[in-house]
Amino acid sequence: KRRCARMSSSHIKRLMMPRSWPLPRKTTVWVQKPDPCGHSIENCMPMGIILRDVIGVAHNRREAKKILHSRKIMVDGRIETALGRGVGLMDVLTVGENNYRCILDMNGKLRYRPISSKEASSKTCRVMGKTTISGGKTQLHLHDGRNIIFDSNPEYKSGDSVVISLPEQEIISHHKFEEGALSYLTGGSHIGETATVRSHEIKRSSKDNEVSFDDFGTIADYVFIIGDKKDIPLEVNE
């Protein structure tokens, strides 16, 4: 019973794992759960599973641990050694000389697509909100749990996106959530697609804000503003 209790704290049953994980459900009983991080469990996978079952550089958990201890694995430009480290939406995973970006494909599955070294030097983050903290400073909250502090109130608004340099984490570009902006959809029936925003309706109630495109609409929570279609490596690079 004690062993099961310890396993359940760091593992979940495969039948209960998020649908976004591209793993078979009926091979083993348990699957590793990502450590708490800025991403939701639906939008990230633990490092051990990525190395073994997704990218395939390790044959088993022991090999994955050995690779991590070589200190050649980085997430967003910083060395990671934890098997349970969650790598989520738009994160940059570096394995030796190879770089990957985590995205959601058109089937709603998490994919780790190869990208170039230049693309791996930056990352697009969605602005989730901002708050005023002590000293009159403003703290910007990003979708991956990252917080950036400013001495004054910046122009960034909820729903906007910022491009940050890696690993410095400095903002180098800003994409506004406005009419004509290019968006990447992270939920709904059009998940994984890119579309141009035509209008944005703010609800004065508990209902979700709505965004309209050329042929369909969705809620604002599913809209991730990007600068260019190339920011999302939807196809596997040859």
Helix ranges (H only) for the chain are 2-10, 47-49, 61-69
Going 142 to 171 to 109 to 190, the CA torsion angle's sign is: positive
pLDDT in tens, 152-162: 989 999 999 99
Give pTM, 2 decimals. 0.90
Q: Which residues contact 222 (CB under 8 A, 6 or more apart)?
A: 185, 186, 187, 188, 191
The enclosing H or E element of 210 equals strand 210-212
Average pLDDT for runs of 10 along the chain of length 238: 52 92 90 92 96 95 95 96 96 96 96 96 96 92 95 93 95 96 96 96 89 95 95 69
pLDDT of residue 3: 47
pLDDT of residue 188: 94
pLDDT of residue 206: 86
Task: Return the residue matching tokens 């570096």.
Answer: 94
pLDDT of residue 235: 66
The enclosing H or E element of 212 equals strand 210-212
Cα separation, 175 vs 183, whole angstroms: 10
Quote the strand ranges of 38-186, DSSP E: 44-46, 73-75, 78-79, 86-88, 92-95, 98-104, 110-115, 122-133, 137-142, 147-150, 161-165, 171-175, 182-185
pLDDT of residue 237: 44
